[in-house]
Structure formats: structure tokens, C-alpha cells
Structure 1
Amino acid sequence: MASPIIDPDTLLAKADAHRRDKDWMGAADAYRQFTILRPNDWTIIVQEGHCLKEGGKVAEALARYREAEALAPDDADLQVQIGHAQKVLGRWHDAARAYHRALAMNPSSAAARVEAAATAEWLTGPEIDAADRAALSRERDKDPRFAPFLPVPQPADAAIATVFDVTDLLQYFNDRRTPTGIQRVQSGIITRALTAPAAGMAISLAYFEPRQRVWKAVDRHAFTRLCALSAAGADTQDPEWTGMRDAVRRLLNATGAMRFPRDALLVNLGNSWSLTDYFRALRQAQRDHGVRYVPFVHDCVPLIVPEHCLTGLVHSYVRWFSALGLHAHGLLCNSENTRDDLRRHMEALRPGLTPPTHVVRLDADPRGLLPPQGNAAPMEALRALRHDESFALFVATLESRKNHLLVFNAWLKLLREHGAEAIPRLVCVGKPGWHADAALKLLETSPELQRHVLLLPQVSDQELDALYDRCAFTVYNSHYEGWGLPITEALAHGKVTITPRHSALTEAGGDVATYFTPQSLPELTATLEKVILDPAYRAAQEALIRAKGQPRSWDAVKDEALDAIRALAAQPVRPVAEAATVALGQHYKLRRMESPTPALAPAMAELVREGPGWYPLEEWGVSTMAGLATLRLPLPAGTDAPLRLYLEMRAPADMEVELRFHSEGSQAQPFLVSLPAGEPRICLFDLPALPGTSLSIELDSGDGPYALQYGEARRLGVGLLGFMLCRLDDHAARLGMLEEHSLNPVSPALT
């Protein structure tokens, strides 16, 4: 028998060789033997930890890093490695603290700086510093800017628990301050609902944490102050703004998952279609607490004019819309036009799919959103204009859907026909968007337009109010709209607004807007000429607006929204299982849909994944987490015959997966499947007639290997690509599946 290797140098060479060959456990063992002989060599203890982590033994790696830390307490890179291990283990807050310790030890460490910034929101409790506590102090409520928004105590006997999901708004505030239309709607309704809830309603706020797929309670005082500060200025680096915003973020990070009141309505007035795994978390809340989801549909623009949207935005919206009718208890819309669009596209998915829907018109005076000011706010946006200068106002994001190009061409035509002295300047308020290259190119190459067009991307609500007051008239162009808040804003200021006659713009403008044929340059130019060159006509239009076009208050809009929510609370709950069932004989793909067209079949990839054991959908399919994941297939009525299930799986490493099948009132049937690494396989399972309304499939992958995905290590279970369930005697469906795939069948063994 060979003598054991005891020479330290030989052991180190052996360990390094194992590491080069990616024999992580062999390398870790050799490094461990080396440290027995050289127990104070902390760098080799770290190397052993690296190998243990690569081999999937992250907890053991962390223990070795801690041993090295005792020998090198001031080494910044070691703290970074400790942070990495903590992150893999899901110990978010400990990871953040390790990264911040590393940065404090070595401020020049790029790795520490990047990781500390990326995990800043994971800090909790003691890491909320004195500045945060000062920003969140209730003493701030005495600031007169916040007075109109201060919430009042909720009624003790409230019958309807209403939770407003403000995730979209808080995420918007991460890198922006001045609100656009959807943000104004949220702050306008929610701050007033907090102040004056309807009788019998209890109002609270929540934020969706996508990493943990839970909602967290949002402090109402902090939220109302943040909304007020958003309206009060445009400077995103203002210390008061950043201090309040960051304090709210860290407070949320320090807050645990909220428990929904029983049968609560989760009302989302913003955007939930960009939130990963939102519906999967929602289904869990629906099962646990009876939560009823009520989103606000602002428009169907990505379905109607996708050419004016980013491709990724269209795909995200389509995925959300495809599953919306399966999850929503009711819907709110901002116009009859949006409700008609919504119904048309949802009924095309399946007749009768559309939940109860209420229209909440957004004809609200924007001045009701402005906080009071002790001193006059600086008006930087007005300094680019002479005191007596005449100008027209166009408020819209600079993107192709708003078609600034048409308006610029009309202005250029007017300048050349009537001269610069006769034509007012065009002031465009709005942030840069997408697909606006043609408009910007025209502006860049036309000296006449450059002198006569002013772009203002950063304008506070108070500055915007002053611009509306001072402008001669407004223009609002668009290829399609769900409402058109700038029209309402202009009418509230008594100003003529020129807009195309289409979509919901005719609801926003009513009988008092000045319309032109959509995208007609000659008609837009003629309309502008009339408004600019005929003062009597413009004065008559302004008089008509003052008589008939004055919007209502945000309190009135809030009341209408709460009345609609109360009406939806009285509607019977429609379980998700009743909204959609698996079609026998149809092949379903379990992957992220990348399509411009809504469809129910791809939405099933969202619907059938149940519980926490799943990673988000990807283009190829979906990975389960190590351990247990559950696939739940809702069955159509009358499924009373033996079935065959085709389950497409792919293992990240050679593994055995135990599958257990059961339905209501039946015993679980276990199968054990051996899968080779990386090769898609289709497993066939013959099942007896099932007594219940759904088939649950538990997939147990055991510990699973570690893999790097989206920049972080994850412990993976088996991957799924799709499934097909059919009657055992449905030979046509079975033949279709055979023709679609070149089968490499796996024969499972009963356990």
C-alpha cells in the first residue's frame, strides 16, 4: 500500500492539479490536508473554500471562509467571498453587510464597490442610520407641503380591506422624480384614499419584492411625503429627495413579508406587467388569504400599435395580458375606449373571459396634485423663455407614438409660410423615449426649428403648472392613447388643445378640444394656422372651455375609483381553476412567451407552476429549484378516462428525479426517473382516471447542482420544457406528439 502524501509542497501541487481539472472535491481534500500541516496559511483555507463552493457545498465553504477570517480579519477580498457565499445561501442581509465591510476595508476594491452598491437595499434594522430615521420621522408631517396628504386613522369596523400595490411607483422613483401620466394617477388617487377612505374601507399600501416573491407593507406617511416631494421638484440629486427615497427603500428592506387581511382586494393602479413572477406570487396569496386582484388597465397600446413600442415591452405586456383574465377579480379602466379595446382582445382569447370592468375617467384638475409651498419654487424651465414670449406647449414623452415628427413638420411649414415673428415657439416637455430618431434628426438638421423648438426633459409639476398658465395654447399628438392627461391638464388651465380625433382622446377632449384628422399634416397645419393667426377664434374656444371643459377634482376621481372597488368587492370570486383548464391533447410549452399576440396556451406556462419551487420562465423552458416543485394541471370537466402524460424534461446534471402524481381524493403514485445531463427527454406516464378537478405533479430533484444564472449561483432542480396530457385512447393526439418530436423515451420505474 502506498504511503500517504505528507509533504506540504506535494500536497499543494496535487490540490492545484485537481483544481485545474475541475475536480473540486479532490482539490478541497488536498487543500485540507495541506492546512493540517500549515494551519495558519489562511490563503489556502480560502482556496479550499472556493473548491467547496464550486462543488456545491456552499455552507461548508462559508465555514472555511470564517476560519480564514479569524486569521485575516482585515482582508477585503475575503469579505467579498464571504458575501458571495451568503448570497448563494439566500442570506441577503448578511451578504450585504459583508460587502459593505469589504468596501470599508478597501475603498479602491472594484468588486467590493460593485457588490455593495448592488446589495444596498438588502441592509436591514441596525443599518438604517440616523439620517434615514430623521427622514422617516413623524415630525416631518408638520411640514406644510405634506399637510393635504396626511392620512387619517382607519375606521375600526372596516369591512373591505383594500391594499394598494405601489410597486410600480416606488420603482419609478429609483431613478426618476418627475411623474408621467401613470404615476400621477397613482399618487392622485392613493394619497387621497389614504386621507379620506370611503366608508367601510380600510386602506393600506404594499410593495412587491420580486426576489422573495412576497409583498411588504409600505409606511403611508413616508409614501405621501415621497409623492409630495416628487411633485415639488425635478432635481433627482436633491438631498431632501434622495434622502427620503433611500430611507423608504431601506425601510422596506428591513420589513418582513406582510400578511394580507382575509379576502383583501389587491389594487394595482400602475404597472404589474413588468414584474417577474407576479402572478405566481399572487396565486399563492389567493390560496392563502383569498386575495382578489384588481389592476388598472391604462391602455392596450402594445397590442394595438406595437410598432411604436420596444419589442421587450410588447412581449412583457402580452405575457401579462394573456394571463390577466385568469387572475383578475375585476378590472379598472380609464376610458370607454380602453374598456372596449380590453374586451375585444380578451374575448378573442376566449369568450366570457373578461372579468367585471369599471371605467374611472381621469378628467381631474392637475393643480390638485401640487403641494403648497412656503416660498416660491425656482422655475428653471421658464428661464429659457422671455417674460413676454408667446409659445405653444406639447407635453409628451419624446417617442414615436407621440409623433413629434408630424408636429415639427407642421411648425417648419408655418415658419416658412408666415415667418418666425408670426409663429410662437414650440415648447416640448417630456423625457426622451424610444423610436424618436426621425423627429430628432429633423430638429438637428433644421436651423429654423432649432431656434423655434425648446426641449425640456426635466420639468417639475410646479414648473409645468406655470408653463400651462403662460402658454398660448397646447398641442397633443399621438398615434393612440388610453386617455391623454395633457389634454385634461390644458383644459383645466382654460387653454385650447389641438389633438387628433381618435382613440380615447375624444373622451379626454370631449366637446371642447380642437380636433384634426389623425396624422394629417395639411389638416394639422391648417388648424394651427387658425388658432395662431385668428385671435378671435382662439378666444371663443377658450370661452367654451371655461364654460364646458373644466375638469373635476382628484377627490372626485378618487371617490369614483373607491366606488368601483366597493362594487367589485361585492362580486362573487371566480377561482382561477374555473377560468382555465388544460385542453386534452394540446402540447403546452413551459417557456417565456416572446410574441406580439396574446394567447391562452402560452399563459398556461404561468398558470400551472405552483408554489415556491420554481425559477422564472426562460426562453428555453423553466428550471425548478432543488428539492420539491409542484406542477398543477387544472382538468376539464368530464375527465373520467385513463390518461397519458408526456413530460419534457432536461436535467442540469446526471440526476434521479422522483415524481409523485395525485389528485383530490387519490393516493400519490410515485415514479423514479433517471435523466442524463443536458439532454432533453420526454417521459411517458400512463395514469388511471382521476377523481378530482386537477392533477398535481410533485417533482423532487433532491439537492441538485449549483449553476451560475443571471449573475448568481443557484441550486437547480430538473428543467421542464413542456407537457401534453391526453386520454389514453386518443391515438390522434399521441400520434401528433410522436410526429412533433423525435422521441428518446425514458421508462420510469415505480417506487
Structure 2
Amino acid sequence: MSGYGTRITNAMRIFDISDLVEHARRNVALSGIQRVQAELGKIFLRRGLGGGARFIYFIQEKKFWIEIDPSEFLTIADHAEFRSGPVIANLFARIERAVRPFKFPEKSVLINLGACWSRAGYCQAVLQERRETGVSCIQFVHDCIPLLFPQFCDEGVKEDYSQWLACASFYADILLSNSQNTAADLRRFHRYYRDKRLSHVQVLGLNGRSFERQNGERVTRFDQLSPYVLFVGTIEPRKDHGLVFEAWRQLSSMYGENNIPTLICVGKWGWKSEQLKEFYAQDLELRNVIKIFDDVKDFELPRLYEGCEFTVYNSFYEGWGLPVTESLSFNKIPIHSSTSSLVEAAGGCGVVFAVGNQTDLVDRVEKMLWDAEFRAQAEQKLALQNPLEDWTMIADRLEQMADSIDPGCRIADYYESEMSYRLPPPKRRKGEKDEVAAEVVCQGENWIVGEWAMWMGGGVSNLNLPLKFPKGCVPSSLLVALMAPDTAIEIGLIVTLNGEDSHIGTANRNLVAGEITIIKIDLSERLKLADRKSILDVCIYSVSGLLPMSGNLDVQSPSKGALLGFCCMSGGNTDAEVAFRAKFGFPPRDSGYQTGSLTPS
């Protein structure tokens, strides 16, 4: 826990459950990431850990949070209602009407255990709350799959995820991972997003016992199933159900379909599963030995786990692998692939086959079915070494992490004045000290991540620069390096301080098509009265985009080019100005307003 030594034990815990709420709106059961939020949120709420627990939802269209009533949270977390039930319907009606944002209490800790990378404006909203209210933040990162295996994701997900992780690396006091494997992945990519010396990645293993026994009507629809093996997981290419299907076809061919257990697959048809779905529907031989249930609810899953011989879990890569843990919860041996975190999830109590190897999988299934000594040894090992623990123990460790955050030792999210900074896009970062994650300072949606630059869209592009001034040193000018688009354009810049309406500096400049211009903006002496840590807001717009009558900005104006870097410096600091010019190929004595050609590297 190095680096977070001062305890803030009375801080209110604020759980962002936006991901959980959205999932409940569209699905009939919880998946792995949502189950984590439900289990830990219930414990914090019912035990009153820390200063208590509150729940919030981020409205991306309005760029603020609203509070979720604990009863609404429990309705979802206890699997009492999904999709179009009255509680969820009323909740989203309230979200539509919301006009008053949630106000974070003093000394609060924002805990996001879900997936928020796709929520537009989320990073900027958290950064703003940190600066305005001093809220601390714990962000869970469940996996780095979009960065490692973009082929298993929709087009553009890798770029969106990379942008989010860059920003989360700055706004989070602690980045949580669910396994040592995911932590290693995070540290691998971490150096591209912030100073390599600042490591705030910690592990919170998800080896909690799943599925509390619930009172209610007995599940009967699976009573007539023959002996079966269970495979739980969304049907998608990353899980490679096709490999397991072919393994069962091979077993059927070797032993006869009446002499092998049925493979029961539980999971919704997911991303790019159409081909496998059609293949399964047309293959009578497969349908005789494999049954797929895509509508199983949470209260039904325990019945399936309890009745199976053992489980199978195949995947090319995982952040954790919750179905493996669920299998252990019912003392069922999981046969799982050898990849990533699955060995951790099984705690050494699983039967491992080489990832992607059908022959190896068939061999392990055969041993579990017909090698009595092999199976007895595996079951005895599980009985003696089952690695699972109660979710309350995991909640306790999360609580200790929250307590250990020192609000006086903030993550370094202010940039030094007198320093020159570049803004390379994610693919061009090398983890150097003069690099700024553009996702942190480029505010709003009017930015485009390019192959080698951050491009400004039409209309207004806003730059949010949190700066730290040396003692006794007041910046007097701001340097901005811009590259024009393919056509010449006149650019205007307006600089304001700490969200105030009145500007402290302006500039207009003609940019030559396809070339770099360094613009120098003189800043008002009002900066002398500003705090040493202040935020400069820079509005960049196309002068031709001004509407003559209202003075507003036309969001349909053409692209304004690329933002390459910035430097805020005090008067007479020629060294800082020379260093900034040098980054973009300008000679030391250049006037600052001439252009130069740019060759991407």
C-alpha cells in the first residue's frame, strides 16, 4: 500500500453503478462484471462500511451524476427485476427528467467497480470533480482485452478503450485489477499513459463464493436433463465455443452419443456469434449432444451448477474468469484453458488444458469421466484447498484500500509551467516525461484521435490545462503548437482562468495549409492573484465559424487542424521558449508566428 499512508476512515463511499443499471435495463441476468458490483455494493450498504454507501448514475448526455436510491440498487443487485420492470422503468424516467446533479460530500471516495470506458464525457467529469471537490477515486479495470486482442472487439473499441485508460490513469488514486495477470497487463500499458515511477495498480482478487441460497419457488425446468457438463459464458469468438463443440462431437463419435454427458451451454448469444448459431441450428448431430440455454436467470444458475458432473470453461483470454470461481462455489471441478488469469481464478484446483488444443481438452474430459482415480484426486484437492472466501472478506480489503488513500498526496494531475509538453495520440506515446495524455486535457467531443496527432473537429475545441506554478513565478504567456488542415484557415484562441467568464488572453492567427504554427498568447496580470494550482481553459475555434449576428460558434465549421503541444511560461524565460520551438523544428530566434513543414515520424 506504499504511497497511500494517511487514513480517511470516515469518508463516504460513493459507488458509481451506471454500468450495473444499464446492464439490468438490457439483460435478464447479471454477468461477471455486474455481479462484482452487486455483491460488494450490498455489503457496503448493509454493513455501513466507512462513512456509509451511496449510489450514483452518470448521465452522459447531461455530463453529471444523479443519486440512485438504495432500494433501486437492491432491486437490481438481488436479481429481483431486469429489463422492463416498474422499478427500472421509473428509474429511467427519473433519469430523463433529472436537472440537479449529485453533489459529492467532503472527503468522499468515488468507487467504480464497473465498465465505464464507453461513457462519453465520464473521464472529464471525474477530473473536474477531483479538482473542485477533492473527491478521491478507485477505478476497477477488469481486463485489457481491447488493447491485447482488438480482433475480439468491435471496430474502434481499442482506440476508445485506450483513451479511457489514459484518462483513468490520471483520475484514479488506485487502479484496481482483479488478478495478478491483469495487473501485469496494466503495468505494461501504464507507462504509455503517465510517469513510470508512479505506480498505483493494486489487485483485488474476485475469489468470492457465488450465489447465496435464496428462498423461493424451486427450479424445475432442468430436472429432466440427462447427466451433463456445464459451460457458462457469453457465446462469442473469444470464448471459442466452437472448439468445445468439436470436442463433444469427437467424444460422441468415439463413444456414442448415449454414452457421454450432454454439454449444457448457458449464456446469451453475443458479439459475432451469428455463424456459430447458424452452424449449431443446422447440425442435428451437435444438437443431440449439446443444449444451449440463452435465457437462464440468476436464481436458476445454482440448480445447473449443483446438478452437473463438472464444468468446462474455454477462453483465449480473461481478466479473471468468474464461471471458474462459480464452479468452485459448488465444489465442481472446472476444466479450463491454460490462458491468462484462469489458473489464478481456479486457485490451482482446476484441470487445465492447453488453450486452443482440442485433443488436450478431449483428454481431460475423458479423464474426468472415466478415470476414477484422476477424478477422485482432483475432487480431494478441491475439498482440501478450495481457495474461495466470503465476499465480506473481499469487501474488507476494498475498504482498507479506500481508507489508505491520502487526500493530501494527490495523483500528479497538474502540469508544471515552464515545461514544454507534446500531445501524441495513444499509438505514438513512448512514456516520456514531456508527453501529455491528450484524453486528459482535450475536453468535450470535438476531438478526433488520429494516427499521429490529435485533430480538432469543426466548431469549438476546448483545451483544459491544469497547471502548477513555481513559487514566486507567474506565467505571462502561453505557447500553442498547431498544424493546419489541408486548407489555410484563420484560428482564434480565447483563454480563461478557473472557469471564469472573462478572458485573460486572446489571439488570432492565419495557419498555412499543412504546416505548423506556434502561437504565442500574452496572458493577463490577473494570474498574479491566482492560486499556484490553476486551470487554464483554452477555446480554439475557426474565425470563419463565427455567426455575425449572435457571436456564437457554428459547430458545422470545418476541421481546424491538429493540436501538437503547449507551454505556459513566465516572462523572460527564453530557455522554455527555445525548448518548445525545438520540439517542432523551429530555430531559437524565430518570431513564433512563422510556419514550418511537418514530417510525421
Q: TM-score, normalized by length of structure 1? A: 0.65
Is the 8 Å Cα contact of residues 318 and 595 (structure 1) preserved in structure 2? Answer: no
What is aligned with 1:721? Answer: 562
2-structure distance, mates of 1:491, 1:574: 38
Secondary structure at the aligned position of 1:160 is classed as coil
Return closer, same or farther for 1:552/1:585 CA change in 2, 3 Å cut-off.
closer
Secondary structure at the aligned position of 1:735 is classed as coil
Deviation at 1:321, TM superposition (A): 1.5
Given candidates 140, 147, 169, the residue that maps to 1:303 is: 147
Is the 8 Å Cα contact of residues 446 and 459 (structure 2) preserved in structure 1? Answer: no
1-structure distance, mates of 2:475, 2:243: 62
What is aligned with 2:286? Answer: 449
Deviation at 1:206, TM superposition (A): 0.9
Return closer, same or farther for 1:314/1:658 CA change in 2, 3 Å cut-off.
closer
What is aligned with 1:89? Answer: none
Aligned: 1:176 with 2:27 = yes
Q: Partner letter of residue 168 of structure 1? A: D
Deviation at 1:214, TM superposition (A): 1.0
Return closer, same or farther for 1:523/1:649 CA change in 2, 3 Å cut-off.
same
CA displacement, residues 692-748 of structure 1 (integer Å, 9 cap, x when unaligned): 777835438699559xxxxxx969899563143464435643437722189xxxxxx
Secondary structure at the aligned position of 1:562 is classed as helix
2-structure distance, mates of 1:570, 1:705: 45
What is aligned with 1:250? Answer: 93
1-structure distance, mates of 2:399, 2:148: 29
Return closer, same or farther for 1:407/1:698 CA change in 2, 3 Å cut-off.
closer
What are the within-5 Å matches in structure 2 for residues 167-566 of structure 1? Answer: 167-198=18-49, 200-228=50-78, 231-232=79-80, 236=83, 242-255=85-98, 256-347=100-191, 349-352=193-196, 354-368=198-212, 371-373=214-216, 375-376=217-218, 379-380=220-221, 382=222, 386-387=224-225, 389-436=226-273, 439-440=276-277, 443-444=280-281, 446-549=283-386, 551-566=388-403
What is aligned with 2:480? Answer: 645
What are the within-5 Å matches in structure 2 for residues 670-681 of structure 1? Answer: 670-673=505-508
Is the 8 Å Cα contact of residues 648 and 681 (structure 1) preserved in structure 2? Answer: yes
The structure with more radius of gyration: 1
Secondary structure at the aligned position of 2:158 is classed as helix
Secondary structure at the aligned position of 2:206 is classed as coil
Secondary structure at the aligned position of 2:118 is classed as coil
2-structure distance, mates of 1:465, 1:354: 43
| Structure 1: runs of 5 or more not aligned | 1-156, 707-712, 743-751
Q: Partner letter of residue 617 of structure 1? A: W
Deviation at 1:420, TM superposition (A): 0.9
2-structure distance, mates of 1:175, 1:386: 30
2-structure distance, mates of 1:569, 1:224: 31
Return closer, same or farther for 1:616/1:557 CA change in 2, 3 Å cut-off.
farther
2-structure distance, mates of 1:538, 1:315: 45
More helix by share: 1
Aligned: 1:738 with 2:596 = yes
Secondary structure at the aligned position of 1:361 is classed as coil
2-structure distance, mates of 1:435, 1:552: 35
Return closer, same or farther for 1:219/1:452 CA change in 2, 3 Å cut-off.
same
2-structure distance, mates of 1:215, 1:732: 43
Is the 8 Å Cα contact of residues 651 and 718 (structure 1) preserved in structure 2? Answer: no
What is aligned with 1:699? Answer: 539
Return closer, same or farther for 1:685/1:405 CA change in 2, 3 Å cut-off.
same
Is the 8 Å Cα contact of residues 429 and 435 (structure 2) preserved in structure 1? Answer: no
1-structure distance, mates of 2:577, 2:387: 66
Is the 8 Å Cα contact of residues 130 and 171 (structure 2) preserved in structure 1? Answer: no
Aligned length: 552
Return closer, same or farther for 1:572/1:433 CA change in 2, 3 Å cut-off.
same
Is the 8 Å Cα contact of residues 136 and 405 (structure 2) preserved in structure 1? Answer: no
Return closer, same or farther for 1:608/1:467 CA change in 2, 3 Å cut-off.
same
What is aligned with 2:494? Answer: 659
Deviation at 1:464, TM superposition (A): 1.0
Aligned: 1:617 with 2:457 = no
2-structure distance, mates of 1:698, 1:284: 15
What is aligned with 2:437? Answer: 604
Is the 8 Å Cα contact of residues 408 and 439 (structure 1) preserved in structure 2? Answer: no
What is aligned with 1:686? Answer: 520
CA displacement, residues 678-704 of structure 1 (integer Å, 9 cap, x when unaligned): 988865423579997778354386995
1-structure distance, mates of 2:15, 2:187: 24
| Structure 2: runs of 5 or more not aligned | 1-7, 549-553, 568-575, 587-594
2-structure distance, mates of 1:602, 1:446: 55
Q: Partner letter of residue 138 of structure 2? A: V
Is the 8 Å Cα contact of residues 517 and 596 (structure 2) preserved in structure 1? Answer: no
Secondary structure at the aligned position of 1:406 is classed as helix
1-structure distance, mates of 2:160, 2:414: 23
Return closer, same or farther for 1:734/1:596 CA change in 2, 3 Å cut-off.
closer
Return closer, same or farther for 1:651/1:290 CA change in 2, 3 Å cut-off.
farther
Deviation at 1:355, TM superposition (A): 4.2
Deviation at 1:346, TM superposition (A): 0.8
CA displacement, residues 270-310 of structure 1 (integer Å, 9 cap, x when unaligned): 01111111111112111110012211111122222222222
2-structure distance, mates of 1:293, 1:422: 54
Return closer, same or farther for 1:686/1:625 CA change in 2, 3 Å cut-off.
closer
More strand by share: 2
Deviation at 1:535, TM superposition (A): 4.1
What are the within-5 Å matches in structure 2 for residues 49-198 of structure 1? Answer: 159-198=10-49
Query: Could you tell me the percent identity over the aligned residues?
Result: 24
Return closer, same or farther for 1:732/1:571 CA change in 2, 3 Å cut-off.
closer
Return closer, same or farther for 1:679/1:195 CA change in 2, 3 Å cut-off.
farther
CA displacement, residues 423-452 of structure 1 (integer Å, 9 cap, x when unaligned): 111111111223446644653554321211
Deviation at 1:669, TM superposition (A): 5.9
2-structure distance, mates of 1:404, 1:489: 19
Deviation at 1:491, TM superposition (A): 1.0
Is the 8 Å Cα contact of residues 615 and 625 (structure 1) preserved in structure 2? Answer: no
What is aligned with 2:592? Answer: none
2-structure distance, mates of 1:301, 1:658: 39
Query: Once superposed, what is the RMSD of the aligned Cα atoms?
Result: 4.1
1-structure distance, mates of 2:418, 2:150: 29
